[in-house]
Amino acid sequence: MAERLTVSSIRRMKESGERVAMVTAYDATFARLFDDAGTDMLLVGDTVGMVVQGHTSTLPVTMDHMVYHCQAVVRGSSRALVVCDLPFMSYQVSVEKALENAGRLLAEGLCQAVKLEGGQRSAPAVQRIVEAGIPVVGHIGLTPQSVNALGGFKVQGREAAQATRLIEDARRIEDAGAFAIVLETIPAGLAKSVTEAVSIPTIGIGAGVECDGQVLVCYDMLGLFDTFVAKFVKRYANLGEATREAVRAYVSEVKERTFPGPEHSYT
Ligand code: KIV
The single-letter code of the amino acid at 229 is V
Could you give the residue range(s) of every CATH 3.20.20.60 domain in the chain? 7-236
Q: List b or e across 73-99, with b for residues whose CB sees 16 or more CB atoms inside 10 angstroms.
A: bbebbebbbbbbbbbbebbbeebeebb
Centre of ligand 1 to C-alpha 225, Å, is 14
Q: What ranges in 77-187 are assigned the alpha helix state H?
A: 95-107, 123-131, 147-150, 160-175
Instruction: Answer yes or no: is the C-beta of 81 below 6 A from any ligand 1 atom.
Output: no
* Residue 205 near ligand 1, beta carbon < 6 Å: yes
Top-level CATH class of 7-236? alpha beta
Q: Summarize the confidence of residues 3-24 as an average pLDDT.
A: 97
pTM: 0.97
> Per residue in 154-178, pLDDT tens?
999 999 999 999 999 999 999 999 9
Widest CA span in the chain: 74
pLDDT in tens, 51-64: 999 999 999 999 99
pLDDT at 1 over 70: no
Predicted pLDDT at 167: 98
Closest ligand 1 atom to residue 182 Cα is 7
Task: Kindly list the catalytic residues.
Answer: 184
| String of DSSP letters for 8-37 | HHHHHHHHHTPPEEEEE--SHHHHHHHHHT
What residues have CB less than 8 Å from 10, skipping those under 6 apart? 20, 40, 41, 81, 179, 180, 201
Q: Considering only CA atoms, which residue is closest to atom 4 of ligand 1?
A: 45
Q: Quick one: what percent of the chain has pLDDT higher than 70?
A: 99
Q: Give the distance (Å) from ligand 1 centre to CA of residue 46.
A: 6
Look at residues 231, 99, 97 and name the one whose alpha carbon lies nearest to residue 155: 231
